[in-house]
Structure 1
Amino acid sequence: MPEPSSDPEAVVVNGEPRAVAGRTVAELLATLGVPAGGRGVAVAIDGEVVPRGGWDAHVLRPGARVEVLSAIQGG
């Protein structure tokens, strides 16, 4: 898992600064332990949902705010 970072160029992932700028969304998810394909996972960057088909191409820029959400089954 990427180490938390105090670098102002870091990417904020679920509220925690991380040194992952320059990586793709897919690479970030792999470091977070999200299974390939990301079934049940949604990613938003700066408030905009990134479609699953774009995860391999979307590069994280310094200062971006990323939210990784997982669907939870229950009732």
Structure 2
Amino acid sequence: MSREDQRQAMRTTREQLIAELEELYRQAFDRIGGEDLGEGAIARLTQLLLRSRDGAITPLQEEIEAPLITRAPE
């Protein structure tokens, strides 16, 4: 597999992971919204989930958006 193929495979894998995480968090938010926990508890859980989501997804997105660093020509 060429270096470019490897990069593309990694990008695709990261994008798939992001999509799976987004779906997981969406389901969690929906589940919390359906619980009878009271506004304060829901707000705290929502904030924790948002922080968790940010911590899980942001590094994957940053790696996708990072500029491609190549070696200097020989």
TM-score (norm 2): 0.24
Structure of higher CA gyration radius = 2
Higher relative contact order (CA 8 A, sep 6+): 2
Judging by fraction of residues, say which structure has more strand.
1
